[in-house]
Structure 1
Amino acid sequence: MPAKHTSYTELKRPIGRTTLGKLLLAGAIAGLVATVFMYLAREVSEGETARIDDRILLAINHRATTTLDTIVVWATELGGVIAVSTISLILIALYAFKKQWRSAAMIALSIGGAGVLNFGLKLLFGRSRPELWTHLVTESSYSFPSGHAMLSSALALALVSIFWGTKYRVAVAIVAALYIAMIGFTRLYLGVHYPSDIIAGWCASFAWVIIVTSIAHTFFTNRQERVDNTTKN
């Protein structure tokens, strides 16, 4: 008896209410965070954050030590383009080797998109770096929003999303939060970013990653369901 083939039309399934609800919730959260970013960007453009930005930076610099200088200069590189790109490529290769395409896509799109978005936003706002003291590291790009903050948080948030449905989610979330906070602090300690740069970077990254991971989750889940249905038929 010939095998029954499932047509393309039969494979097409509408997005369920639960899935649609999750997408709408993700979109709402991303929109809210993006609104915070836009508000902060406006305040920065109008110079409203200048006083508090300088106060915080000077307070941090007042507690600087030679030992901390050495540690921070090393630690900040963990959130830079080279480190984040290297870690991301290793993870993508690992997930691809294990045929975990959803996880590989989440990492690739989260980091790649965050990098492109950051580049565009820096050019758009053109904010100069703080110059309150001599920097221990050299930075030539614009300040707003922080690239280190965006890339590190994009990587961390993507991993949290990947591990969210596992028993490791709490541990991964804690490590991710510490990593994000550490990179943000190092940029302030070094005086190469204002606090508003860091917060804006986190907001932009969070909004982007939640959209990417939500869409990727929906796409690959529906794709797997279609494959399963084809196999059953």
Structure 2
Amino acid sequence: MPYLLLGVGFFLFIFSILMLAIPSLNLFDWVMIEWLGQHRTLSLNRIFIALSTIGGMPFVLFLTTIWCLHQAWYKKYTNVIFISLGLIGSIATVWLLKYVISRPRPPEMYHLVQSYGASFPSAHSIYAAALGCLAIYLSQKHPQHTLICICAFVWLFIMGISRVYLGVHFPSDVLAGWSIGFIWITLLYLLYVKFSRAKTN
């Protein structure tokens, strides 16, 4: 699983960069923004606006804090460090790339929610991917691991789609967000495994 996610992450990141650089692929970004903008409904608007709040940094930090406290209660301090570094690294990476690339967001006429910072990559998407990957890796011995994996991928997929639907991100922003989440958390997990093995030997 780790090397599969790492491979998918690198593929999506390269593809998202190509979408920025190649006009024919960049056109797909605009087509999707316009198409989703024309197929909005009041019910979907409410659902995706709610998801925007849940997937934002304040709630993600709150959720992660609760998760870390739960792990600390059971004296799983290595997990606490893994989760904390995973989220902090994701936040730092996404905002650094936003500053460096400085891609403008889609026109405000498409926006259904307020947004901050540049467009590429999507912060909501990287947070969702990071939390999803953390849940997948830390639940490998859980009896419901398969269900947790399914829920994690459904969550990050819906969160990514919501950002395009709400008109604040292009599809390539979302792909980049997912890819960074996959790559960062997987690399961190491989170090985590190496450290755990060294500790037990």
The TM-score with structure 2 as length reference comes to 0.91
**3-state SS, counterpart of residue 28 of structure 2:** helix
Q: Which residue of 2 aligns with 1:127?
A: 103
**3-state SS, counterpart of residue 109 of structure 2:** coil
Q: Among residues 139, 142, 148, which one is paired with 2:115 in the alignment?
A: 139
The residue type paired with residue 136 of structure 1 is L
1:167 matched to 2:106? The reply is no
Q: Which residue of 2 aligns with 1:195?
A: 171
**3-state SS, counterpart of residue 77 of structure 1:** helix
Query: 1:134 offset after TM fit, Å?
Result: 3.9
Q: Which residue of 2 aligns with 1:18?
A: none
CA distance in 2, matches of 1:29, 1:135: 31
Cα RMSD (Å) of the superposition?
Answer: 2.1
CA distance in 2, matches of 1:57, 1:214: 37
Q: Deviations over 1:46-67 (max 9, x none)?
A: 5443210111122222220122
Q: Which residue of 2 aligns with 1:177?
A: 153
Given that 2:37 and 2:110 are in contact with CA atoms closer than 8 Å, whether structure 1 keeps it comes out as no
User: 43-52 vs 96-105, which deviates more?
Assistant: 43-52
Give 1:38-187 correspondences, 5 Å limit: 38-131=14-107, 133-187=109-163
Unpaired runs of 5+ in structure 2?
A: none
Q: Deviations over 1:124-175 (max 9, x none)?
A: 1110001173412111300001000001110111011000132121111011
Q: Deviations over 1:94-151 (max 9, x none)?
A: 1112111232122111111010000111111110001173412111300001000001
Given that 1:114 and 1:205 are in contact with CA atoms closer than 8 Å, whether structure 2 keeps it comes out as yes
Given that 2:18 and 2:25 are in contact with CA atoms closer than 8 Å, whether structure 1 keeps it comes out as no
CA distance in 2, matches of 1:169, 1:81: 26
Which structure has greater helix proportion? 2
The TM-score with structure 1 as length reference comes to 0.79
